[in-house]
């Protein structure tokens, strides 16, 4: 029975390490998305904008997939830790209550800052000046061609603005909560602890971390 308990604990610790590695990967990808998003908002080249947009969509899809996996792993690990009975549930509940207050103080509903719409220059007087240069018929053909091009540009801009908003929706709230909520560190473990005492400390800290991750990443 003792060996079985050791095997259970060993597997649990392994899964905790895997889960925390996944969380760190999500955080890394979010930084990548923020960087691409900044580049997209500053770029004036449609080729560059298309590349940034494609990269943002790719990484957001990866983030969403990993978040779903993280949520499931948190539920599983939470259950298994509590089943061992080697944790301080009262300490976890106190930490959870503290996090709830911090979330309310941060006032994060959707995590997306409201931005002023970008003003697009329509180019006043363009039709009149073109007619003077090439004549009425030539100007009409040219203006139709330019109008088609302008519609294509406007549609592209709408799509790019949508991609920027999507990136902010996915990363904004997570970033704000990750910065604002109390971090669960390893802390200073008391000396001369028994093996059971060390496990109690480790698993209690992990349950706190799971409560934090539920608020930041969902679950």
Q: Which of 219, 114, 110, 115 is nearest to 175 (CA)?
A: 110
Rounded to whole angstroms, the Cα distance separating 184 from 190 reads 17
Give the per-residue pLDDT at 13.
Answer: 95
Helix axes 46-84, 195-217, angle to 10 degrees: 140
The tokens describing 174, both together, are 């997570």
Per the listing, tokens 């059971």 go with 196
CA distance 185 to 182: 9
In angstroms, the Cα distances linking 163 to 18, 87, 157 are 31, 43, 10
Kindly report the length of the chain.
Answer: 219
Token pair listed for 72: 């499931």
Query: Directed axis angle between helix 126-134 and helix 136-180, to 10°?
Result: 150
Tell me the H-state helices in the chain: 2-42, 46-84, 89-106, 126-134, 136-180, 195-217
Q: What is the pLDDT of residue 18?
A: 97
C-alpha distances in Å from residue 27, one per residue of 98, 110, 117: 23, 18, 29
* Predicted TM-score of the model (pTM): 0.73
Q: Tens place of pLDDT for every residue, the chain, 219 residues? A: 456 788 999 999 999 999 999 999 999 999 998 888 888 888 888 788 888 888 888 898 899 999 999 999 999 999 999 999 999 999 999 999 999 999 988 876 544 344 444 343 444 444 444 445 456 666 677 777 677 766 766 666 677 777 667 777 778 888 888 888 988 876 666 677 788 888 999 999 999 999 999 999 987
């Amino acid at each position: 029975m003792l060996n079985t308990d050791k095997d259970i604990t060993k597997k649990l610790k392994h899964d905790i390490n895997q889960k925390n590695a996944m969380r760190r990967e999500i955080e890394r990808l979010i930084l990548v998305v923020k960087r691409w998003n900044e580049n997209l908002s500053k770029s004036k080249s449609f080729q560059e904008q298309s590349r940034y947009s494609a990269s943002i969509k790719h990484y957001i899809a990866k983030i969403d997939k990993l978040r779903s996996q993280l949520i499931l792993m948190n539920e599983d690990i939470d259950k298994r830790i509590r089943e061992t009975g080697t944790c301080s549930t009262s300490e976890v509940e106190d930490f959870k209550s503290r996090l709830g207050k911090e979330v309310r103080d941060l006032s994060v509903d959707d995590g997306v800052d409201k931005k002023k719409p970008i003003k697009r220059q329509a180019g006043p007087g363009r039709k009149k000046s073109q007619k003077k240069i090439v004549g009425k018929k030539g100007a009409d053909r040219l203006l139709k061609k330019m109008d088609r091009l302008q519609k294509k540009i406007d549609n592209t801009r709408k799509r790019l603005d949508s991609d920027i908003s999507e990136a902010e929706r996915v990363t904004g709230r997570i970033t704000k909560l990750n910065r604002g909520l109390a971090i669960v560190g390893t802390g200073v473990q008391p000396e001369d602890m028994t093996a059971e005492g060390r496990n109690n400390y480790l698993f209690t800290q992990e349950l706190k971390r799971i409560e934090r991750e539920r608020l930041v990443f969902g679950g």
